[in-house]
Amino acid sequence: MSSAIRLTAGAGVVALGLLLPGTPATAAPSHTVKITVMASSDIHGNALNWDYYKNAEYDDSAHNDVGLAKISTMVSKIRADRGADHTLLFDSGDTLQGTPLDYYYAKVEPITSTGQVHPMAKAMNAIGYDAVTLGNHEFNYGLPLLGAWVGQMKAPVLGANAVSAKTGLPAYRPYVIKTMKVKGEKPIKVGVLGLTNPGVAIWDKANVDGKLRFLDLVETAKKWVPVIRGLGADVVLVTAHAGDNGLSSYGSDLPVENAAAMVAEQVPGVDAVLFGHAHNDVPQRFVTNKVTGQQVLLTEPSKWGQRLSVVDFTLTKERGKWTVTGKSSTTLNTNTVAEDPKIVALLKESHDKTVGYVNKVIAQSTQELSAAESPYKDTPILDYIQKVQTDLVGKAIAGTADASLPVLSIAAPFSRTAVFPAGPVSVRDMAGLYVYDNTLLGIKLNGAQIKDFLEYSAKYFAQVAPGAPIDLGTLTNAGGTPDYNYDQLSGVTYDIDISKPVGQRIVGLSYQGKPVTADQQFVVAINNYRQSGGGGFPHVSTAPVVYNAQVEIRQALIEYAAASGTIDPATFAQANWKLVRDGVPVFEK
């Protein structure tokens, strides 16, 4: 889209009828202009309305749809109704990771080797984004792939708080100013500041350490918003890949993770914050700026292209200057429109290659293995992950000073819907079990640290008195703890007493039938997200690292299955933990 956008003063914006009920379809006064800003976020590789793990059109219990092809149709409709010159389109990050489509063009046919245009760049270029902001997952596949994608994007890619570790200068474009020409009037300038998530320093340490630093969102905005205003911006937006609750999933060593509302509260001169990262549907939220008393609008469009944020601004000419005098927003459900056939056709080859890849059979399973009960029972399907991780780390430390140490392994129930069917198991079956692009490490912990780790993990369960009914709907996810932050440990045996308070739940922690002692040494196979501090688990981020070959766990699972050709739980399933209340098992099996 051209950076110069023509607007007719007094034309106003006609209501989108079906899409935005209640908007008056009347012309605005001659000194007033209305503009519309649209925003997507957290697309996570969902280009089309397709579930690669189920090999079918995407659907969930709420009948949401996903994908940029849906976004494209909605954007086109709004442009047609508003006038394309009345609108801008932005994205708040997390584009390059999340589906096998992204994985395929990062690892199977990497764009860094083939020179092909990334399918997400193809789609976003065709839709006509005006700017996109870096999410934390943009860094998952390394800086070379990210750099290639940035070079392929027609829209500027923003990230003001990602700076060079050597120079301190912005490593990516901090902001962009879009100019809207108004017939017979002074043009309207819309400034957009892009902020990414400081957690990248933890979550992708191996890719960015020593190369990039990630600064505080509020302080970065305080630096750049006056610059943008000084360049004549009449409207200032922040696109932030950060949730709005002011909390972090890590400790206090890094700037706040979910700082979108903090930016609105603490930085003067911001009209609206278009945010992402938390995957919530926030149609409209107002926050009062503590300095100016002004109301700052926030909106978040859920995830995966399920929603599109639509923000309407009214600008009034006052003393020769455009001033924002009204603003409102909503989120539109993309399940109300069809996919844009142009985007579907554009991505057909990429989509078909990905479908072929994920449906490739890699092994035969002797029986069906399900992850449905994995959050509260020791299941064979998670034991498969533990087996592969333990073997890899065990072989890696053979012949080293740590070769005699027992190797334990941690794994979390990433998916409750994953299944290995009896018979052929495909890449997508394996990818459905291990949905993140984590790499494997080995660290050293002692018995006391193992106990602390397990106690921290066990806060995932609600406290339930002996004899009280067990409600599976409330048993897990206590305190909002997600499934991916409940780690199970293999190689030792233990019970989790859910009748006890948090911190006093791990009972009978033993290795080979003997109680684990406080100073006993172990090597633990662990993923990079957890080892680098994700989830805030104790001890792991400072523990000695004995193995880090950057092996992707999901690919290791696939290769392990393909090498043996058979997945037989008799060779790896081992029930080593269970839930109890005063020593009585919660479940019979």
Give the pLDDT confidence of 489-524 residue by residue, as tens digits: 999 999 999 999 999 999 999 999 999 999 999 999
Count CB atoms within 10 A of the CB of residue 92.
Answer: 33
125 half-sphere exposure, CB direction, 13 A CA radius: 14
pLDDT at 221 over 80: yes
Residue type, 326: G
Tokens linked to 500: 């006890």
What does the alpha-carbon distance between residue 377 and residue 393 come to, in Å, rounded to a whole number? 25
Q: What is the pTM of this model?
A: 0.82
Helices (H), 251-333: 260-266
Domains assigned to the chain: 32-354 (3.60.21.10), 360-585 (3.90.780.10)
pLDDT at 566 over 60: yes
pLDDT at 433 over 90: yes
Look at the alpha carbons of 159, 161, 165, 171 in this order and tell me if their dihedral is positive or negative: positive
Q: What is the reported pLDDT for 249?
A: 78
What does the alpha-carbon distance between residue 546 and residue 402 come to, in Å, rounded to a whole number? 8
Average pLDDT over residues 54-62: 92
For 375-402, the pLDDT digits (tens) are 999 999 999 999 999 999 999 999 999 9
Q: What is the reported pLDDT for 549?
A: 78
Q: What is the reported pLDDT for 1?
A: 44
For 264-305, the pLDDT digits (tens) are 999 999 999 999 999 999 999 999 999 999 999 999 999 999
442 half-sphere exposure, CB direction, 13 A CA radius: 25
For 131-186, the pLDDT digits (tens) are 999 999 999 999 999 999 999 999 999 999 999 999 999 999 999 999 998 888 89
What does the alpha-carbon distance between residue 175 and residue 365 come to, in Å, rounded to a whole number? 52
